[in-house]
Structure 1
Amino acid sequence: MSDRPSHILSFGSVNIDITARAERIPHPGETVHAASYATGLGGKGANQAAAAARLGQGCGLRVYMAGRTGTDQFGTLARTLLTPFGVDLSALREDEAHPTGVALITVDAKAENIITVAGGANMALDLGDVEAHRPLIQSASALLLQLEIPLDITIAAAGEARRAGTLVILDPAPAPEAGLPEALWNALDIVTPNETETRLLTGIYPETEKEAAKAALKLQELGATHALVKMGARGVYYRSGSEEGFVPPYKVRAIDTVAAGDCFNGGLATALTLGKPFAEAVRYAAASGALATTRLGAAESAPEWQEVVSLVTTGSVSDHG
């Protein structure tokens, strides 16, 4: 990746998260009292941009966020919260006709979560946005994509990147029941599903390393050059061309899994842009995701590069328990 310009572009969703913390997640029709709630930055696009930007600080790495917010108070808040990460917001458009996206999150005592998203301005993105950001897409080292904006826009952005030689990294979340269209498989380089998304895309739920290996091979057969199966607390399995491997889980005390996958993808894009070999970049990505689980919140849980380096080097972390 060293011959590519050193900037990353996240093209996707920007939300405000309203997160309630309760002893358990309610059943349908049930009300559960939460111990607390918080309002913060979210959206998989914003989370990945924030994670990459925080990781890239001090490395000469610039990160852009392309997408839309509303002109409402949540839009102002989203921009205010993104700014300290060092994300370049010049490609983040204000949409007067649609509200800023909102995610309603419940986190239980075991750090598991459920999320309901009202997309708002995220779902108003159109081909004009892809055209407007074409120079950024074409000159990026990596394009981070997710599935919280219209699918045809994700496909169009991926196609622009593929034609320019920009690395396309897709977090297939939320994964559609019908799977991904062939046009998207043909335009992506790396796909990074979690266990649930892996099952939806391949029919295999990766509870074991062996099952993850089968799923990763299936993802390659579908069109991904590189497949990473994120198994949560069980580790990460990857296939890169004919190379394959398993990264065991890092020793951390998880308190909140929200945005851990986004920090994983931000870490992957950062490591690859900084020239790390693929297998090593997966370890840095896994460490980024693991560290995110040791902190509360979504984007704000993103670690710094030296923290990730330390975890990769030592295999454990002491600062966060």
Structure 2
Amino acid sequence: MSKKILCMGAINIDLTMYASCIPKPGETVVTDNFSTFPGGKGGNQAATIGKLGGNVAFFTKMGNDSFSNQLKENLKDSGVDISPIIVNAGLTSGIAMIMVDANAQNSIMFTPGGNAYLSIDDICQYEDLFSEYDILEITLEINPDVAYEAIRIAHRHDMTVVLDPSPMPITGIPDRIASMIDYIKPNEIEAELLAGIQVKDEESARKSLDSLIKKGFKHPILTVGSRGLYTYNDGTLITLRPYPVTAIDTTAAGDIFLGAFTVSLAQEKTFLECLEYAIAAASLSVTKKGAQTSIPTKEEINVLLA
């Protein structure tokens, strides 16, 4: 039986435009398109887990505006239990404004809306919720101190903790929190902020991973965009590359990677199997536009893996 997953992080509406290039300061670029997608790293990860058959719930604070209601319905349709969400009538949803260029690279501005109002008091008040789940998947889009309290409570309840350290706090992550995290997935920018090592090649990736392990992170997974990832498997450094696909939008690839990884973890697959499933899911996601709309199906992933 699959383990139960509790997701925490931001959920928001993505207002997206596709253009030949991302504007420079002071520049105007005209496009002929505009799309609205459900997004937010936490929401993307939860929706990925739900669509891939995981037993998942989402915990945050939201408003009751039209965007918030749309986001909740989308999570529900994706197979996510939304009952833990705290609704505050005076709040709005989070909103991200996303520009995607011809090379499928993106630039994002984000206002958190209700996500920012989830407090330590809320976490403590809902501590019993954590006892119902086996895995906590969490991002740092919510207030880092709130996220750290959630990690402490998860650790107290013997949950496996999976962290997406984005956006990385300037002060880094406290060592006492690092020791409570089972899996962390920094990209090369976040890894440099955490470990103080610029990742350029395999040797610098090894040094970065070693530094993260020394800080207390048990299983760091260092993602490097189109070059794939570096991590240790049973003490051996491994590299996994994405599948060769035609990318049109990379917006949620990292979120879909982590959601697919976590749903595999809940199914008690080996670490390497979890990584292979996740990189297949992320590879497929960049061939579709949007965030949650780019989540592949189980069948699509299995065909690619085969």
| Smaller-chain TM-score bracket | over 0.9
TM-score of the pair, normalised by structure 1: 0.90
Shift in CA distance, 20/30, structure 1 to aligned 2, threshold 3 Å: same
CA contact (8 A) 2:96 2:109 kept: yes
Give the Å deviation of 1:310.
Answer: 2.5
Percent of aligned pairs with the same residue?
37
SS of structure 2 residue aligned to 1:309: helix
Q: State whether structure 2 residue 202 is matched by structure 1 residue 205.
A: no
Deviations 1:247-284 (A, max 9, x none): 12212211110010000110110111111111221111
Q: State whether structure 2 residue 254 is matched by structure 1 residue 261.
A: yes
Q: How many residues align?
A: 306
The CA distance in 1 between the partners of 2:253 and 2:41, in whole Å, is 10
Give the Å deviation of 1:243.
Answer: 4.1
Q: Given residue 153 of structure 1, which amino acid in structure 2 is its aligned partner? A: V
The CA distance in 2 between the partners of 1:132 and 1:299, in whole Å, is 30
Q: State whether structure 2 residue 28 is matched by structure 1 residue 7.
A: no
Query: What residue is the counterpart of 2:157 in the other structure?
Result: 164
The CA distance in 1 between the partners of 2:220 and 2:211, in whole Å, is 9
Deviations 1:290-315 (A, max 9, x none): 111111000111112232222223xx
Superposition pairs for residues 1-321 of structure 1, below 5 Å? Answer: 6-56=3-53, 61-240=54-233, 242-313=235-306
Q: Given residue 37 of structure 1, which amino acid in structure 2 is its aligned partner? A: F
Give the Å deviation of 1:242.
Answer: 2.9
CA contact (8 A) 1:258 1:298 kept: yes
The CA distance in 2 between the partners of 1:261 and 1:17, in whole Å, is 16
Give the Å deviation of 1:241.
Answer: 6.3
Give the Å deviation of 1:187.
Answer: 2.1
Provide structure 1 residue ranges, at least 5 long, that are not aligned to the other structure: 314-321
Give the Å deviation of 1:233.
Answer: 0.8
Q: Given residue 192 of structure 2, which amino acid in structure 1 is its aligned partner? A: R
The CA distance in 2 between the partners of 1:140 and 1:26, in whole Å, is 44
The CA distance in 2 between the partners of 1:254 and 1:132, in whole Å, is 43
Q: Given residue 128 of structure 2, which amino acid in structure 1 is its aligned partner? A: P
SS of structure 1 residue aligned to 2:60: strand
SS of structure 2 residue aligned to 1:130: helix
CA contact (8 A) 1:227 1:238 kept: yes
**CA RMSD, aligned part only?**
1.6
CA contact (8 A) 2:179 2:218 kept: no
The CA distance in 1 between the partners of 2:126 and 2:9, in whole Å, is 12
**4+ residue runs of structure 1 moved beyond 4 angstroms?**
none
SS of structure 1 residue aligned to 2:283: helix
The CA distance in 2 between the partners of 1:280 and 1:207, in whole Å, is 26
Give the Å deviation of 1:239.
Answer: 2.2
Q: Given residue 264 of structure 1, which amino acid in structure 2 is its aligned partner? A: F
Provide structure 2 residue ranges, at least 5 long, that are not aligned to the other structure: none
TM-score of the pair, normalised by structure 2: 0.95
The CA distance in 2 between the partners of 1:13 and 1:79, in whole Å, is 12
Shift in CA distance, 96/213, structure 1 to aligned 2, threshold 3 Å: same
CA contact (8 A) 1:195 1:206 kept: yes
The CA distance in 1 between the partners of 2:129 and 2:3, in whole Å, is 11
The CA distance in 1 between the partners of 2:276 and 2:25, in whole Å, is 38
CA contact (8 A) 1:155 1:187 kept: no
The CA distance in 2 between the partners of 1:137 and 1:33, in whole Å, is 47
